[in-house]
Amino acid sequence: MSDLLYSEVEEDLRASVRDLLTDRAGFTSVLARTESAEPYDLKLWRTLAADLGLAGLAVPEELGGQGASYREVAVVLEELGRSVAPVPFLGSAVLATAALLAAGDTELLPRLAGGELIGALAVPLTTAPDAGFPGGVSANTEGALSGSVRTVADASVADVLVVPAVGPDGPGLYAVEKAGATVTEVVSLDLTRRLADVSFDNASSRLLTSGPGVESALRQALLVGAGLLASEQVGVAQWCLDETVAYLKQRYQFGRPVGSFQALKHRLADLYLEIVSARATARYAADTLATGDSDVPVAVAVAQSTCSAVALHAAEESVQLHGGIGMTWEHPAHLYLKRAKSSELALGTPGRHRAALAGLVNLPPA
């Protein structure tokens, strides 16, 4: 059976990431940044990606990475979820990096892994792993791309885009430099994860891979993204629970701490129980991804459908149980609600993952 615990190395990693984020991504600064000209903290990103080497955790050392595994990436995502830090980790260090790994690229990977470049995978963030190869972008015989993709995560800060496009010989994955694409940032429901529409008009590109394996390469990248997003969702849920418990201990109404009322305690106990389950599914997904276990598709579907729902429930409870304070812009709860609701749609909704599961475990529809 997979190891569902955190190793000592992983706990050390967690501690150092948490320390850094506590210092540099405190709530007030995160909130202030959401309405500034620089919604992403690229200085923080450089510390995470380049100085700490976290952008290349799962990339082999010979390709400029740390040679660790997706288990460690999951731990980092959990902490990024706890702080909703505005950094392009999911888009660059997870999605684009996984796509480049699956495509067998050796040129861009070292630069992404070292934090020198930021990447993004040019698919709508809602794309589920089993969605099939997208047809919105086409490549001509010279490899010039045309077409558009909406709601791409982290594209607005990306230096390079990994683009699934259909060429004369079928589907392929292409790399396009920022200058070759028109990137239009859109107003995002999630204030701390930016989205952009991307279009290409005869953009020059480099073919990364094509042929029979390309569809499974894209699917693999999306499975990695969906499976690891579950850990980010666990982080979101845990923050919401911790913060809400702390608040209910100090908020007095009717002459007692609100947290002493059974009606509220039971809701928090249920939430705790949900998070216990969610963490186990997220750990399992990360471990199967790390070891290349054949159970990856089931593990990811179970983790995504569980963790999406738990993060959202935790965030909704957090707003409700904070009462009026929870409705205000100045309290952080809304950032987590926005992250949780957006993440529910990201990389496949819970329903979509359950439908995929139905096929995987032979429970056919009516």
Partner 1 sequence: MSTLTADDLRARVGELLAAHPPASTDRLEFLRARFDAGLAWVHYPAGLGGLDAPRELQNVVEAELAKAGAPDNNPRRIGIGLGMAAPTILRFGTDEQKQRYLRPLWTGEEVWCQLFSEPGAGSDLAALGTRAVRDGDEWVVNGQKVWTSVAHIARFAILVTRTDPDVPKHQGMTYFICDMTDPGVEVRPLRQLTGEAEFNEVFLSGVRIPDANRLGAVGEGWKVAQTTLMNERVAIGGNAIPREGGLIGMVSKTWRDRPELRTPELHDRLLKLWVQAEAARLAGTRLRQQLAVGAPGPEGSAMKLAFANLQQALTGLEIELSGEDGLRYDDWTLRRPEKVDMLGRGPGYRYLRAKGNSIEGGTSEVLRNIISERVLGLPSEPRVDKDVAWKDLPR
Q: Which residues bind partner 1 (CB under 8 A)?
A: 1, 3-5, 241, 245, 248-249, 256-257, 259-262, 265-266, 268-270, 272-273, 276-281, 283-284, 301-302, 305-306, 351, 354-355, 357-358, 361-366
Cβ count near 23 (within 10 Å) = 11
**Single-letter amino acid, residue 32:** A
Could you tell me the sign of the dihedral formed by the alpha carbons of 68, 70, 71, 72, in that order?
A: positive
Residue 165 φ then ψ, to 5°: -145, 155
- Classified as helix, coil or strand, 221 is helix
Residue of 211, 124, 196, 186 lying closest to 158 (CA atoms)? 196
Minimal distance, residue 299 CB to partner 1, in Å: 9
| Residue 145 β-bridge partners | 139, 203
Q: How far is Cα 246 from Cα 99, in angstroms, rounded to an integer? A: 40
CA distances from 300 to 73, 109, 231, 277, 304 (A): 15, 24, 11, 14, 6
Q: How far is Cα 69 from Cα 92, in angstroms, rounded to an integer? A: 16
Cβ count near 180 (within 10 Å) = 18
List own/partner pairs for 223-226 with CB under 8 A and 24 or more apart.
Answer: 223/129, 223/289, 223/296, 223/297, 223/300, 224/70, 224/94, 224/95, 224/98, 224/289, 225/90, 225/94, 225/95, 225/98, 225/121, 225/347, 226/128, 226/129, 226/300, 226/303, 226/304, 226/347, 226/348, 226/353
Residue 84 φ then ψ, to 5°: 35, 45
Residue 131 CB-density burial (10 A; 0-12 exposed, 13-18 middle, 19+ buried): middle
* For the chain, counts of helices (H) and of strands (E): 11, 10
Minimal distance, residue 277 CB to partner 1, in Å: 4
Q: How far is Cα 35 from Cα 76, in angstroms, rounded to an integer? A: 25
| Residue 163 β-bridge partners | 174
